[in-house]
Amino acid sequence: MADPVIGQLYRPVRAGYPTPKQPGGVGNVVTDPTQPCTIYPNGGNPSAYTPQTNPTPYAERAACWFPGCGHAIRSWEVAIDSVGGAPAALILCPLCSYIVDIYQPPDLVLNVNLCPLILG
């Protein structure tokens, strides 16, 4: 298997979730079928009503970060894998596993001066 690279989906298959796709290839926005659907008043038929409320969940409106995949998130996921035969820490979007950054050696991710957004 090829080494992970920044901009690709690390684990596109997640148990219990539809598979996100990256139609433009590595480094492009992810189409993720788990994004919220529009909220319709009174549980109405989507074809008969127009949205009356903001369809974006509060968590997305209050997001802290917007990785290259296009999601709005409040925290990162960190995974350990091998890149070039050496261990590395992969910084991922927790919703689709889009690789945002790679740190070698993985201990660098614990350095608050290098990664203030991860730990701070």
User: 50-103, pLDDT tens digit by residue?
Assistant: 444 555 555 555 667 888 888 878 888 899 999 999 999 999 988 888 999 999
CA angle 108, 112, 117 (to 5 degrees): 100
Is 0.75 topped by the overall pTM?
no
Q: C-alpha angle 82/71/103, rounded to 5°?
A: 25
Tokens 């945002």 label which residue?
100
